[in-house]
Copies of this chain bind each other. A is one copy, B any other.
Amino acid sequence: MRIADYFRKYKLFWLYGGSMALLLAVLKWMELKYIVYSHAFEIYAGLIALLFLGLGIWFSRKLTRPQVETRIVEKPVYIAASTPFIRNEQACTDLGLSERELEVLELMAAGFSNQEIAGRLFLSLNTVKTHAARLFEKLEVQRRTQAVEKGKRMGLIP
């Protein structure tokens, strides 16, 4: 592990230690220079005060969890109108639509009658009606045209 990694891991320790060392070095240097004999204590106190003021600020900023405010923003989801149709699987599962019901919906949207849909899917007319009824129930509509309209709007069909 490189020194930089150690620094990152024990950031607080290094900062603290480094600051202290720097402070002592400065004081020793001043002592050596015979500058601060008379006001040594005041300078000491001031430096310590500064150091810990900064440390306190740094601490507070670092250790205080950012206040999270969850803001619900309604974001319109535009369904790509043209080409590569991507079915809104989420909506499909949310509505609990089955495979057959979706097939019926697609053929409805294509303009086929129940009889024609029955022919295409090799079902009896009654079965198609049952699928259609369930579909309407799940989509909360009364007519096939409504189902088609809602299906398109929700991205269930192209």
Contact = CB atoms under 8 A, between A and B. Distances in A.
Interface in A50-95: 50-61, 64, 66-83, 90-91
- Copies of this chain, tallied across the complex: 2
A143 B72 contact: no
A44 to B, nearest CB: 6
A41 B45 CA distance: 9
Nearest to A107: B145
Contacts of A154: 78
Interface string A23-45: 00000000000000000010011
A68 B110 CA distance: 43
Nearest to A154: B78
A146 B78 CA distance: 15
Interface of A: 41, 44-45, 48-61, 64, 66-83, 90-91, 108-113, 141-150, 153-155
